A and B are shown apart, each in its own frame.
Chain A
Amino acid sequence: MKKLLTIILALTILLPVVTMAVERLPKPEKLVLDNGLTVYFLKNPELPLVSFRMLIPGAGLAFEPQGYDGLASLTTSLLLKGTRTMSAEEIAEALDFMGARLSLGDAEEYASVSGEALVEHLPRLLQITADCLTSPAFKEDEYKKELARKTDTLKSLKDNLGAALRQYFRKAYFGSHPFGQLSSGTESSLKKMSLTEIKKFFASRFRPDIAIMAVVGDIDRDRLLGLLKETIGCWPKPNTAPPSLDILPLPVPRGRKLILVDKPDATQSYFALGSPGFAVNDKISSRASLMNTLWGGRFTSWLNTELRIKRGLTYGASSSFQSWKNGGLFMAGSYTKNDQIGQMLDITFDLLKKARDKGFSEEEAESARNYLLGQFPQTLETNGSKAGAYLRVIFYGLGFDYYDRYLNEITTVKAADLKKAALELLPEKDFVLVVVGKGDEIRKILSKYGQFQEKKITDPDF
């Protein structure tokens, strides 16, 4: 594989970056069920498939009680492990038998459900989904199994430097802010985890009246509406007022926060550098996306050109913006042989400075514009990606013409705007830097950047 970069981008930032080049996001039909659940629907008869997505705001990891890292994630996995009518085995068997996909996950701001199947299997898939959301059994033995599995997964996570780095970085950057909760859990959070807490979280956080759903695929409106009423429409609306969805403002680093994580057998060192980004609906987002495209967001970006293409220091180097309702994060990262980490960091800092001091050329601006516009159509090619875009637009209150407006903005951005975005967003003095690598080899190299707080990878937690 030539580019790890593409994958990283797709996972972290691309959603806010996409623009509407030629193909607009078709406007969906809005259906509201009696229990308050809003469903956005688009028919696509091309293949005999249907995809759906659902967001449950307020059920994400930022709403976990402090210190209960992994609680939202355990809650979503337990939903698939048995209901009043089906055992965990029966759920797995029913899903596998259809060749269907059903997954639940936890992001910071919401829990999500994602399903797809051949259209003939949709009724059964919706039935199972509704059953999992409305009557989870939360059995003690299933809970113990999931907790044990999560504990073991956490242990093997520390064998994977890239994955471990992400956890260390999040803790370092967000600290005790709700976004510092780790979906993987930590050694101490999993020790004090309890099924009672999980049940409490589920009871107060999972409710249809604030949930939003999108369905795209080869099915007629009336048939779908009938199916939804019989299944997810039976999810009772609670009598209580919805819980607050407010999240504290994101922390803003002051000065340099430097962390070294020692892994004595590492042959490579991984770094992550982070600083504040911007909220989803911030006007800067089109300029920022273009600027990041040039700085570290694509294969020929400055960062990847200097670190990989010109010097062969690494297999991939990239940067991204991640945005939420009330703020965002800029992150750059790469990895190299232990003894080359100093060279890599020097170049990274030089490039940040260069973008802030000199900015970008008009030709670069044109290239970035073409790139974002040209890559857009594929981002909404599948049923699932269209459904995901609907939920994004609704959840963040962007309006269905969001992608059109965004496109127009992209086409008007000039080099001078990109320099302004760099000055506003790329870190200069205030940032968090985390390095995971072989301490004995890199400690001295790193000392020139300042005083690193040191951790051992074998120590519990992050």
Chain B
Amino acid sequence: MPKKILLFITGLILMSAMLEASFTTQDIKVHQLDNGLKIIFFEDHKIPSISYYTFFRVGSRNERPGLTGVSHFIEHMMFNGTKKFGPGEFDRIMEFYGGSNNAYTSDDLTAYTDWFPPHALEKMIEMEADRMQGLIFDPEVFESERGVVASERRMGVENNNEAILQENVRATAIMAHPYHWDVIGWMSDILSWRREEVIQYYRTYYAPNNAVLVVVGDFDSQKTLELIKKYYAGIPSQTPPPPVTTTEPPQMGRKEVVIKKEAQSPSFLVVYHSPKCQDPDFFALSILEKPLLRGESSRLYRRLVRDEQLAISVSGGLDEKIDPYLFSIFVKPRPGVDLDKIEKIIDEELNKVIEQGLTDQEYQKALNIIRSDFYFSLQTNSGKANLLGASELLFGSYEELFTLIDRYSQVKREDIPGVAKKYFHELNKTVGQLIPQGGNK
């Protein structure tokens, strides 16, 4: 679950000025149907394949206690039958046509990602349009899929120490906003969702006016638009979903979670509340994240892994979110080390940034990383489709993809200490430790 978010984290960091002529805002065609469905096209005929991505503006952010995890559950149910295509038919037909697909749910959005040969296009449009409004939620299938999701939670969280710690730290740091719970949802909710409530949720959020289609690859825009109209135009728009109004109150002191569990080695995580992705501070923190955490030359890696040899690895950083979320520093400590010492070293390193900022070399490194990551993610049709869609939903418009460069270059090296000071302080911090039972501390 938390992993899927990574799919577009790296990608969304962009540099428009360096964009190739073959992928500019002028090459993107945009349409909107009367029912509100937004469509983004980018034709590219290099390989005989089409990436067809459907984004819905719904994620765990839109849930409430009792219904946690339901956005992700609906992602599963989207493969389990409509009036027109029975349970499992979507996958069977798609694979028969040579297509394949995946899907992911994050806190902020749900994405259905299809890739297939051009001859499958009309069938795929038909089936995607159909499941936008026609799911039947067969009671027996509903129960079986509940079991799959419970198994996913057992595998992904309960049998995974890092995930358990992450879930606990998130829920401790964030107390009011729905980012409090993980996308997978609480086990007791998974086991007790009621069918009618799930259907109501689906009707509210799976509507053309709450969705964006992104199509990239070997297709003809004009013909494809006609096909999309043929299958989607009849889907009625719905009352727009209620906005998420809860704001996380400022944290007023250091928080701590300590988990004791059978494990071979400990885990450690520290988080700070951080800004939403549309906030100017987001870009400064995103630059700072690179020399702090990224790669073996980063400050925390050098200090914790190489020099002091307290840890096996260091990772983390900022996530792109609609609402303010967390800056995470995840450490895999070596067995037996003093976890408080790790926290102290992280504090020291963050204070150095606050007091002395980044070097020129580090600042340039961050920009280089941002630029190469961007190109790496543009290598495939699916990479482009994902960036366009995530940009549209998280940054407000696909066009932001082509202007974000300015926002990064507007961040001056001198701005970074001030931004760091604003977020990296004791009152804003939550610390999590997972200590193997039998104790190493």
Write the residues of chain A forming the contact surface with B, with a CB cutoff of 8 angstroms.
Answer: 1-3, 6, 21-23, 46-49, 88-89, 92-93, 95-101, 116-118, 121, 145, 148-149, 152-153, 155-156, 158-162, 264-268, 298-300, 305, 308-315, 335-337, 366-367, 370-371, 373-375, 377-378, 380-383
Do A46 and B155 touch across chains, with their CB atoms under 8 A apart? Answer: no
Residues of B within 8 A of A314 (CB): 148, 151
Please list the 9 inter-chain residue pairs (A to B) with the smallest Cβ-Cβ separation, ordered nearest first.
A374-B98, A312-B147, A99-B372, A92-B296, A312-B144, A96-B295, A99-B369, A93-B297, A92-B297
Produce 1/0 per residue, B18-39, CB < 8 A to A.
Answer: 1010100000000000000000
Closest chain-B Cβ to A25's Cβ sits at a distance in Å of 12
Q: Does B361 contact A (CB under 8 A)?
A: yes
User: In the complex, what distance in Å separates the CA atom of A305 from the CA atom of B147?
Assistant: 14
| Chain B interface category by residue count | 35 or more
Residues of B within 8 A of A93 (CB): 297
Do B103 and A1 touch across chains, with their CB atoms under 8 A apart? Answer: yes
Q: A97-B365, A310-B144, A382-B380 are in contact. Are A374 and B151 (CB under 8 A)?
A: no
Q: A97-B361, A268-B151, A315-B152 are in contact. Are A155 and B379 (CB under 8 A)?
A: no
Residues of A within 8 A of B96 (CB): 366-367, 370-371
- Nearest A residue (CB) for B365: A97
Residues of A within 8 A of B87 (CB): 309
For this complex, 8 residue pairs linking A to B, each with C-beta atoms less than 8 Å apart, are A99-B372, A158-B264, A159-B263, A310-B144, A314-B151, A337-B154, A378-B115, A381-B46
Residues of B within 8 A of A100 (CB): 372
User: In the complex, what distance in Å separates the CA atom of A243 from the CA atom of B269?
Assistant: 47
Query: Which candidate, B158-166, B171-179, B315-323, B398-406, is the interface stretch facing chain A?
Result: B158-166
Do B20 and A118 touch across chains, with their CB atoms under 8 A apart? Answer: no
Do B3 and A22 touch across chains, with their CB atoms under 8 A apart? Answer: no
Q: Does B425 contact A (CB under 8 A)?
A: no
A-B contacts counted at CB < 8 A amount to 198
Residues of A within 8 A of B369 (CB): 96, 99
Residues of A within 8 A of B302 (CB): 89
Do A308 and B306 touch across chains, with their CB atoms under 8 A apart? Answer: no
Produce 1/0 per residue, B367-395, CB < 8 A to A.
Answer: 01111110110111110000000000000
A311-B144, A381-B381 given; 10 more Cβ-contact pairs under 8 Å: A23-B47, A99-B371, A99-B372, A118-B368, A152-B334, A160-B160, A298-B100, A371-B100, A374-B100, A377-B117
Closest chain-A Cβ to B105's Cβ sits at a distance in Å of 8
Q: Does B364 contact A (CB under 8 A)?
A: yes
User: In the complex, what distance in Å separates the CA atom of A121 from the CA atom of B262?
Assistant: 46
Do A97 and B297 touch across chains, with their CB atoms under 8 A apart? Answer: yes
Q: A300-B91, A374-B97, A377-B117 are in contact. Are A267 and B368 (CB under 8 A)?
A: no
Do A312 and B4 touch across chains, with their CB atoms under 8 A apart? Answer: no
Residues of A within 8 A of B92 (CB): 300, 367
Q: Does B104 contact A (CB under 8 A)?
A: yes
Residues of A within 8 A of B262 (CB): 264-265
Q: Does B413 contact A (CB under 8 A)?
A: no
